[in-house]
Structure 1
Amino acid sequence: MHYLIPSGHHSVTIVDYLRYLQLNLKGINVQDNYLKASTYDFIFNGAKEYSMGWGNDIVNGNHYYSHSGSAGNYYTNAIIIKESGIVISIMANAGNGETKWGLLQIIKYLEKKYAT
């Protein structure tokens, strides 16, 4: 297998990934779309703290859903904040600890600026 092939041989543009996240945000906010709202609720809240690949937590009354992934040579992090109605996704062509730390700082900045 070639080292640049993504996990499962699937890849997506950032625009399409954001569309996917927006569908999930709508579903979490009880809007049927590609899936029924009840299915989104199961995906994101079916288990406490981590459900179907998504971390879930309540911080200051806001529902946060997060997903991240890496194959070592890239890193992607996505955050959905239900009450604020926003999604944040950061993608980088590096996957080391410094990259992950840096992306977390960017997410915190964007969250503070747009989600509060």
Structure 2
Amino acid sequence: MIYSKFVLSSLLILAGILHFLKPQIFIKIIPSYIPSHLTMVYVSGFIEIVCGAFLIFPQTQKLGAYLSILLFIAVFPANVEMAKNFYQTHHKYFWLTVLRLPLQIVLIWWAYQFRK
């Protein structure tokens, strides 16, 4: 279980860093009804890094778990938007975007394991 915590933490930190290195990737999947796309990309990237860092340390692990759960719920609309866009454009990787939706539930469950 301890390795699992570091895997999730690493994935969150890496994803958060990617928000800053390649923001255009994330801007494209933000639903149009959400304002300030670039700001939202940077904020969500920062929060991902914080969540990943919080999961590492026993003193902040519980907070990191709950923040990660909230993060995965908050980014769900972006994953739905990406799946919708890929479907409408007949993108060859549409099926991967559809797999991301149940993956969000798995990530929530995974983060929930570290709330103790």
Which is helix-richer, 1 or 2? 2
Higher strand share: 1
Higher-RCO chain (CA-CA 8 Å, sequence separation at least 6) = 2
Pair in the same fold by TM > 0.5: no
User: Which TM-score applies when normalising by structure 2?
Assistant: 0.30
